[in-house]
Amino acid sequence: MHLKKSLLIAIALGIAAITAWELYWRSKGYQPGLEETKDLWAVQREKVENSGKKDVLLLGDSRLLFDIQLNDWERETGTRPIQLATPGTTPLPAFHDIVKNTDYSGNIVISVTPIVFFSTTNPHAEFWHRIQSRVDYYKKRTLANQLNHFLDIPLQQNLAFLANDEELWADDLDLKTLLRNIQVGDRLEGMKMPPFYRFQEIEIDRNLKMTERTATDTSFANTVKNVWGFYGQQAASGPPPDKESVLSFFLSDLSEFKSRGGNVILVRCPSSGLLREVESKMMPRTEFYDILVEAADVPAYHFEDYEQLNQFYCPEWSHLSAQDASTFSTELARILIKDQVINN
């Protein structure tokens, strides 16, 4: 067997093929970038262990993740927040983890997007399971997991074809997604999820921004709106909000956190268009947000109550563009400082 010859051919062809693959996707507009993964989250979560009174944690769903820009917040307050908000999740499991498993007693900003916040305490529900799995991963990750992440980062930052996010975007470039996108025939019944394309860019410390394309290309933004529409239809046929259980669970942890000197700030981030109308109709402020604020007895900021926070239009109805997020973060930080909720 002339294995040496075979090996040389394999190496040469392998390098040529993967180079061509990389160039092809770059020619299609893909650029190298990080993925929003459980490993990035775990690295931030680890920072909480050594955080103090003046630090700020951000917990909740994607609105807080898109809308708070860490650079702007840091510029205003002098403190760079630890970004732990995660798309499509309730803040309850992460807050519970911080309260029960750490002695952190600084500031926590919690996002209150009613449709997510009041959804459930069922551990099998997607909004809950998604963040709980990250909490569990943080506790169970191995040295090998940490080393893999460390080695993976420079590859993600330099190779465009490495696009394989945990969100399972329709425009990911891993083989499984490429095959999943092939449609032959149509044997399935019922609603089908529209394609959900990546509309974000994330940095190493989970500072996340909406892509320029989403902010400027309305037809692209419409593809994201279609996905919200699909989720809305699903939610309409799903279980109703579980307000009582959620309040009971949250207030119990909140009481414990406050008793050790911790400071919680509730924030309702902006939404727009039809989504905002649906949210207001399905979960009226007076029946959900206001009840929570009254029961929690902590500083709370609803974008509708502040002129400087109520000036934005979300391109895809749910999140702010990078530029608006920068302004929103600055204005919110200034309000918090002015109210002496946090110090600079």
Partner 1 sequence: MLFNSLSFVLFLTIVLILYYAPLLNWTNKKRMLLLSSYVFYGMWNPPLIILLWISTMVDWTAGNQLNQEERPAVRKMWLLLSMFVNLGFLAFFKYGDFLLENFIALANAAGFEYQPYKMDIILPMGISFYTFQTMSYTIDMYNKKIKPARTFLDFALYVTFFPQLVAGPIVRAKDLITQFYEPKKASQNQFIWGLFLLTLGLFQKVVLADVLLAGTSDSVFSPGQTLSFLDAWTGTLAFSGQIFFDFAGYSTCAIGIALMLGIILPDNFMYPYASLGFSDLWKRWHISLSSWLKDYLYIPLGGNRHGITRMYAALMITMLLGGLWHGAAWTFIVWGGLHGIYLILERLQKQYLPFKITKWNGIFLAFTTFTCVNITWVFFRAREFETAWSMIKSMFFLNPEGAKILPTFQMIQVLTLITLLFLTHWGMRNTNVKEVASKMSPALLGVGWAVMIFLILIAQGTGEQFIYFQF
The residue ranges that bind partner 1 (CB under 8 A) are 1-14, 17-18, 21, 142-144, 147-148, 151-152, 155, 161-164, 173-176, 178-180, 182-189
DSSP at 130: H
| Minimum gap (Å) between residue 317 Cβ and partner 1 | 29
Taking only Cα atoms into account, the Rg of the chain, rounded to an integer number of angstroms, comes to 22
| 38 versus 225: smaller Cβ distance to partner 1 | 38
| 35 versus 61: smaller Cβ distance to partner 1 | 35
| Minimum gap (Å) between residue 230 Cβ and partner 1 | 17
Q: Are 296 and 266 in contact (CB under 8 A)?
A: yes
| 161 versus 231: smaller Cβ distance to partner 1 | 161
The answer to whether the Cα torsion of 8, 14, 17, 22 is positive or negative is: negative
| 21 versus 197: smaller Cβ distance to partner 1 | 21
| Minimum gap (Å) between residue 142 Cβ and partner 1 | 5
Measured distance CA(217)–CA(227) in Å, rounded:
16
| Minimum gap (Å) between residue 182 Cβ and partner 1 | 5
DSSP at 305: G
| 61 versus 166: smaller Cβ distance to partner 1 | 166
Minimal CA–CA distance to 323: which of 332, 333, 313?
313
Cα 40 to chain centroid, rounded: 12
| Minimum gap (Å) between residue 34 Cβ and partner 1 | 14
Residue 309 contacts by C-beta under 8 Å, 6 or more apart in sequence?
270, 301, 303, 328, 331, 332, 335
One-letter amino acid at 241 equals: P
- CB neighbours of residue 164 within 10 Å: 16
| 14 versus 240: smaller Cβ distance to partner 1 | 14
| Minimum gap (Å) between residue 312 Cβ and partner 1 | 35
| 166 versus 324: smaller Cβ distance to partner 1 | 166
Residue 102 contacts by C-beta under 8 Å, 6 or more apart in sequence?
48, 49
Q: How many residues does the chain have?
A: 344
